[in-house]
Amino acid sequence: MTVSTNSDRQVQQLQELIQDINSGMLTTVNDDGSLHSCPMYSINEIDAEGRLWFFTSANSHRVSEIEQNQQVNVSFSSCEQQRYVSISGTAQLLKDRQKMAELWKPELETWFSQGLDQPDLALLQVNIKQADYWDSSSSYHPQTIKFS
**Chain centre to alpha carbon of residue 37:** 12
Residue 31, phi then psi, degrees to nearest 5: -70, -15
Residue 41, judged by CB atoms within 10 A of its CB (0-12, 13-18, 19+), counts as middle
| Span near its own copies by CB under 8 A; candidates 32-40, 44-52, 92-100, 115-123 | 32-40
Question: Rule CB under 8 A: is residue 142 a binding residue for its own copies?
Answer: yes
Query: Per-residue string for binding with its own copies, 57-96, x by CB under 8 A?
Result: ------------x-xxx-x-x-x----x-x-xx-------
Euclidean distance between CA atoms 26 and 34, whole angstroms? 14
We find the least distance from the C-beta atom of residue 1 to its own copies, in angstroms, to be 28
Q: Which of 2, 33, 98, 101 is close enough to bind its own copies by CB under 8 A?
A: 33
Handedness of CA 50, 91, 30, 100 (dihedral sign): negative
User: In this structure, are residues 42 and 18 in contact, taking their beta carbons and an 8 Å threshold?
Assistant: yes
Question: Rule CB under 8 A: is residue 23 a binding residue for its own copies?
Answer: yes
Residues making contact with its own copies (CB under 8 A): 21-23, 25, 27, 29-30, 33-39, 69, 71-73, 75, 77, 79, 84, 86, 88-89, 111, 129-130, 132, 134, 140, 142
